[in-house]
């Protein structure tokens, strides 16, 4: 998860790095705000990913966690979604979300309730196809950028689901299918939360 409008270590570091990039003519002054925001998200994604990998390693699901991160970050990059207001809330929600995924995985694996996760992934997939991208106020994508982002989010969701279907047909173990499925579900939940909390710029 990500955050908005709060001074923090990541924001200060992003500001400092952006100023150096402007000073050395790597980017122009007009790109300052965009670059600061992009760097903040990059730093926070790295920290969040490390937290998730540690949790996955502790739970004995390191490979599965890696699959989850690849799918989730690729989809989240274009779909956008809910953003926390505070950095500490961002990391707390990250931990809470992934602990929830691990608990759900344990329950489904123990009870072999594959149909439940299949239905949830299908519903989430449809939601992502319908919404595509939430245009967050910090991004303010124009019509062309928003259209491109929606198409990419939908394409990535389709590719993930097709990969899951093919992997199931060739006999890949279900635990390696669950975690990419969880990435679809979490992105859909994030999109809905952003809609509910009105974190969106209307076209």
pLDDT of residue 175: 84
pTM metric for this prediction: 0.82
Is residue 203 one of the residues assigned to a domain? no
Is residue 202 one of the residues assigned to a domain? no
Is residue 201 one of the residues assigned to a domain? no
Is residue 124 one of the residues assigned to a domain? yes
Return d(Cα 9, Cα 40) in angstroms, integer.
9
Q: What is the mean pLDDT of residues 190-198?
A: 90
Q: Which residue has the higher pLDDT, 140 or 44?
A: 44
pLDDT of residue 6: 44
Per-residue pLDDT at 3 exceeds 50 = no
Return d(Cα 76, Cα 197) in angstroms, integer.
18
On average, the pLDDT of the chain sits at 86
pLDDT of residue 148: 92
Is residue 154 one of the residues assigned to a domain? yes
Q: What is the mean pLDDT of residues 92-103?
A: 91
Angle at 79 between CA 102 and CA 17, to 5 degrees: 95
Is residue 162 one of the residues assigned to a domain? yes
Helix (H) or strand (E) holding 46: helix 32-58
Q: Which residue has the higher pLDDT, 61 or 85?
A: 61
Return d(Cα 169, Cα 13) in angstroms, integer.
47
Is residue 25 one of the residues assigned to a domain? yes
Q: Is 140 left (phi over 0), alpha (psi -120 to 50) or beta?
A: left
Return d(Cα 128, Cα 34) in angstroms, integer.
25
pLDDT of residue 4: 44
Q: What is the mean pLDDT of residues 86-103?
A: 87
pLDDT tens per residue across span 106-129: 888 887 778 888 999 999 999 999
Identify the band that residue 203 occupies on the pLDDT scale cut at 50, 70 and 90.
low
Is residue 86 one of the residues assigned to a domain? yes
pLDDT of residue 110: 80
User: What residues make up the domain containing 79?
Assistant: 2-196
Total domains in the fold of the chain: 1
pLDDT of residue 94: 86
Identify the band that residue 147 occupies on the pLDDT scale cut at 50, 70 and 90.
very high
């Amino acid at each position: 998860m990500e955050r908005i409008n709060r001074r923090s270590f990541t924001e200060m570091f992003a500001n400092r790095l952006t100023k150096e990039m402007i000073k050395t003519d790597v980017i122009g002054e007009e790109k300052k705000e965009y670059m600061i925001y992009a760097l903040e998200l990059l730093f926070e994604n790295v920290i969040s990913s490390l937290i998730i990998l540690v949790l996955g390693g502790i739970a004995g699901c390191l490979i599965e966690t890696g699959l989850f991160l690849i799918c989730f970050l690729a989809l989240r990059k274009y779909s956008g979604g809910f953003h926390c207001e505070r950095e500490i809330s961002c990391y707390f929600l990250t931990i809470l979300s992934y602990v929830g995924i691990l608990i759900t995985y344990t329950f489904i694996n123990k009870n072999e309730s594959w149909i439940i996760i299949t239905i949830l992934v299908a519903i989430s997939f449809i939601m992502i196809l319908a919404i595509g991208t939430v245009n967050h106020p910090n991004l303010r994508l124009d019509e062309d950028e928003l259209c491109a982002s929606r198409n990419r989010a939908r394409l990535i969701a389709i590719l993930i689901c097709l990969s899951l279907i093919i992997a199931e047909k060739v006999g890949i173990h279900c635990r390696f299918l669950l975690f990419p499925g969880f990435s679809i579900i979490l992105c859909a939940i994030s999109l809905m939360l952003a809609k509910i909390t009105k974190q969106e710029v209307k076209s």
